[in-house]
């Protein structure tokens, strides 16, 4: 049976007879109406079809920032998201003498709103259309793996090009490992401005100490605004642009939530791996995650030391530090869940059950019997060169200079091809983004920090075994297998002296000028980092070709693996997260996190006072502590929770989320914004691989804490009035 015939069978309830009775599921909006019975059992009285209408309320108000989620909260293009999602904008506008990352920012007028930096975007999803038959239909079974890859890649690019003739940004995303394909059209707003962000020790209170932990007391919100040209169409930044007028925006509720309430989260979750094979998860557990943890810890040690020594460097590396710290805690928790939490063993048991189910029926054995062995073989092939490829990736990602050079060199090579033959990411549609990336790099580029990290990465390259060497680096830096550490460091330092003396890539105008050059002219600059990127490219090209061959093989086997899993299942199944719009729902609820420890579902201002030490991650601003004191002395506020006797700060819910959901609006049963999703608990992070309906919890900032701070701490009355929040202030 052809994959296209499973259109209704897989995504809708026709294949299934019962629903999952947990809160698992990052659901496609079109799947929500099929969950009506489950929602009704949780007390939902609305029409679930509203979540399937992407141009209606509330879904029309939910937007992507290209890594975080956000939502419109006024008719004037005002957008709310997480504080940590605007770090780049704060960093872009900061100097050692005006550190917005520390002090926060509030624009009292539209004229004071600041450009959020090159590459800032707001994406409004306008349509999602199934295109499975157009992408994978009619492929000759005798086609080679590479022929399959090239044909699918060509078809995807054709669909995207046709879709974008309408002036939107389009993608074709695969679901269920390629069993389904959907074309997604989005309005791309290019002028984004920073409006309001609280002080660092409100927006990031608790820092890395509390990261992924409960109880939390973090004010993780900020506001930006979308601007367009006077004709109402997306346009690059201009002082003449006007606020975008969305058709839909969310009402921010001052009434709040209580334990047991039903809540929805709509957003753009990044990636989950719940449908991966056991061999993939095993390799991640035994090699990728432990290595990622070591790499993060080593980089953090270098950057933290540099940040202590120089305020300017501290601003430059702040975003990287935050990302490394966040990822480190996440990876540690995920690894613990996979190993000691038993998720890896459960994944193995699931796959054994699937194999037994396939083997129990001759028809199933004929249809699916070759799939798992083939996928295991593909995974084994990847693992053969993982040390070499891991070191190469670390090398390029460690240095902004080398990363820029690699991107510029790849672009020069791809420019010579017909557009449809260019690799994704380097087509003409991508050139503005590549330019923005080179421009944006200026706010983080620092030669001292860059050299320190590249020196560290080269040390790992020098330590590679004989069969995994990166020959281009060995030749350039004078490295040899089994070289002593002291000799390797001496060669590396001498090479770094030459590298940084021979480059002009720190010059923004020079770097941007290279975007237009062909390969010969680019090499003629004789820039040392360009020369290194060119020397590395043959190896990277070999890796890219191998990846394309594997992807072709994956397109042959992975959809059938998913087909078997779905046919065996007994409920409507959500596809793995893939950075596309999803809806999840659950209840405000605490959890027995571990033996003898219960997490209450809400935290309050009292916890901020108790945690405040005046230093490190717990240095609440004096103006906020004074406002809390005034509240305790009798100042009235409409944002106090009667049952708690205090202003709520954060709350827990059972919704199913992951990275990319940061900033997602948390909605009550009426579709009103009652909070913002910003984190998960340490005990939950392994749910990316295997969802645990008992312990999984997500963390939200309560909208009432945001409104109280805006009214009584930061005086953001202009924004409260814009959102129709009354009374605007308790003063």
- Active-site position among 220, 450, 646, 702: 220
d(CA 222, CA 205): 14
d(CA 100, CA 87): 9
d(CA 15, CA 571): 8
Residue 65 has φ and ψ, to the nearest 5°, of: -105, 10
Which residues partner with 70 through β-bridges?
63
Cα separations in angstroms, 425 against 161, 431, 439, 457, 665? 14, 8, 17, 25, 30
Q: What is the residue whose two structure tokens read 């949780």? A: 42
Other Cβ atoms less than 10 A from the Cβ of 468: the count is 18
User: Taking CA 28 as the corner, what is the angle to CA 26 and CA 34, rounded to the nearest 5 degrees?
Assistant: 100
Asked about 84 being catalytic, the answer comes back as: yes
DSSP string for 252-311: BPSS---TT-EEEEEE---B--TT--HHHHHHIIIIIHHHHHHHHHHHHHHHHHHHHH-H
Peptide bond into 727 cis (omega under 30): yes
Residue 589 CA, distance from chain mean position: 25
Dihedral Cα 390, 395, 396, 398, nearest 10 deg: 110
Start-to-end CA span in the chain (Å): 69
Asked about 662 being catalytic, the answer comes back as: yes
437: helix, coil or strand?
helix
699: helix, coil or strand?
strand
Q: How many helices (H) and strands (E) does the chain have?
A: 27, 20
Q: What is the 3-state secondary structure (H, E, C) of 147-190?
A: HHHHHHHHHHHHHHHHHHCCCCEEEEEEEHHHCEEEEEEEEEEC
- Active-site position among 23, 71, 83, 84: 84
Which of 86, 85, 84 is CA-nearest to residue 107? Answer: 86
Characterise 74 by phi-psi region: left (phi > 0), alpha (psi -120 to 50), beta (else): beta
Q: What contacts 646, CB < 8 A, 6 or more positions away?
A: 604, 605, 606, 640
Asked about 217 being catalytic, the answer comes back as: no
- Active-site position among 491, 662, 664, 687: 662
- Looking at residue 491, the DSSP 8-state letter turns out to be H
Which positions are catalytic? 84, 220, 662
């Amino acid at each position: 049976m052809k994959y296209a015939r499973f259109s209704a069978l897989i995504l809708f309830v026709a294949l299934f007879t019962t629903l999952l009775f947990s809160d698992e599921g990052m659901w496609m909006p079109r799947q929500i109406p099929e969950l009506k019975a489950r929602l009704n059992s949780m007390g939902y009285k609305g029409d679930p079809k509203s979540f399937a209408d992407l141009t209606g309320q509330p879904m029309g108000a939910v937007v992507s920032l290209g890594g975080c989620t956000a939502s419109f909260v006024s008719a004037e293009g005002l957008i709310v998201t997480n504080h940590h999602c605007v770090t780049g904008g704060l960093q872009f506008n900061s100097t050692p003498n005006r550190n917005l990352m520390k002090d926060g920012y509030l624009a009292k007028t539209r004229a004071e709103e600041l450009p959020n930096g090159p590459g800032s975007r707001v994406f409004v999803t306008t349509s999602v259309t199934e295109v499975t038959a157009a992408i994978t239909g009619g492929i000759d079974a005798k086609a080679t793996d590479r022929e399959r890859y090239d044909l699918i890649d060509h078809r995807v690019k054709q669909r995207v090009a046709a879709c974008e003739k309408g002036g939107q940004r389009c993608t074709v995303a695969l679901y269920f490992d390629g069993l389904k394909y959907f074309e997604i059209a989005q309005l791309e707003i290019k002028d984004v401005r920073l409006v309001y962000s609280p002080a660092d020790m409100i927006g990031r209170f608790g820092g890395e100490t509390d990261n992924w932990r409960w109880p939390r007391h973090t004010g993780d919100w900020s506001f930006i605004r979308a601007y367009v040209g006077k004709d109402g169409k997306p346009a690059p930044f201009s002082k003449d642009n006007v606020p975008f007028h969305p058709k839909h925006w969310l009402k921010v509720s001052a009434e709040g939530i209580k334990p047991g309430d039903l809540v929805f989260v709509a957003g753009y979750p990044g990636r989950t791996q719940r449908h991966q094979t056991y061999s993939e998860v095993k390799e991640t557990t035994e090699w990728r995650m432990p290595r990622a943890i070591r790499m993060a810890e080593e980089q953090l040690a270098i950057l933290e030391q540099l940040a202590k020594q120089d305020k300017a460097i501290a601003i430059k590396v702040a975003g990287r530090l935050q990302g490394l710290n966040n990822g480190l805690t996440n990876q540690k928790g995920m690894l613990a869940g996979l190993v000691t939490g038993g998720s890896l063993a459960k994944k193995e048991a699931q796959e054994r059950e699937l194999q037994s189910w396939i083997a129990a029926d001759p028809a199933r054995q004929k249809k699916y019997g070759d799939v798992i062995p083939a996928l295991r073989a593909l995974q084994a092939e990847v693992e053969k060169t993982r040390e070499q490829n891991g070191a190469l990736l670390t090398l390029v990602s460690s240095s902004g200079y080398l990363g820029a050079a690699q991107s510029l060199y790849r672009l020069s090579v791809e420019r010579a091809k017909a557009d449809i033959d260019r690799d994704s990411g380097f087509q003409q549609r991508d050139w503005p983004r590549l330019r923005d990336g080179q421009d944006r790099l200026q706010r983080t580029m620092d030669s001292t920090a860059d050299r320190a990290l590249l020196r560290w990465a080269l040390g790992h390259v020098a330590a590679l075994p004989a069969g995994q060497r990166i020959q281009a680096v060995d030749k350039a830096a004078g490295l040899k297998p089994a070289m002593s550490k002291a000799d390797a460091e001496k060669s590396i330092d001498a090479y770094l002296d030459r590298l940084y003396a021979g480059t002009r890539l720190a010059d923004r105008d020079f770097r941007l000028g290279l975007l237009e050059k062909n390969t010969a002219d680019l090499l003629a600059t004789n820039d040392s980092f360009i020369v290194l990127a060119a020397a590395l490219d043959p190896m990277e090209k070999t890796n890219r070709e191998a990846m394309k061959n594997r992807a072709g093989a994956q397109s042959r086997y992975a959809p059938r693996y998913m087909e078997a899993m779905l046919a065996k299942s007994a409920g409507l199944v959500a596809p793995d997260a893939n950075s596309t719009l999803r809806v999840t729902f659950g209840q405000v609820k605490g959890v027995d996190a571990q033996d003898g420890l219960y997490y209450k579902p809400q935290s309050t201002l009292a916890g901020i006072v108790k945690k405040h030490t005046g230093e490190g991650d717990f240095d609440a601003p004096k103006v906020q502590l004074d406002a809390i004191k005034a509240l305790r002395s009798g100042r009235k506020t409409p944002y106090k929770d009667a049952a708690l006797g205090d202003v709520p700060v954060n709350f827990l819910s059972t919704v199913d989320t992951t990275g990319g959901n940061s900033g997602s609006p948390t909605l009550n049963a009426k579709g009103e914004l009652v909070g913002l999703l910003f984190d998960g608990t340490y005990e939950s992070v392994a749910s990316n691989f295997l969802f645990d309906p008992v312990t999984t919890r997500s963390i939200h900032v309560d909208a009432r804490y945001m409104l109280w701070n805006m009214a009584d701490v930061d005086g953001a009355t202009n924004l409260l009035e814009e959102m129709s929040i009354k009374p605007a202030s308790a003063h």
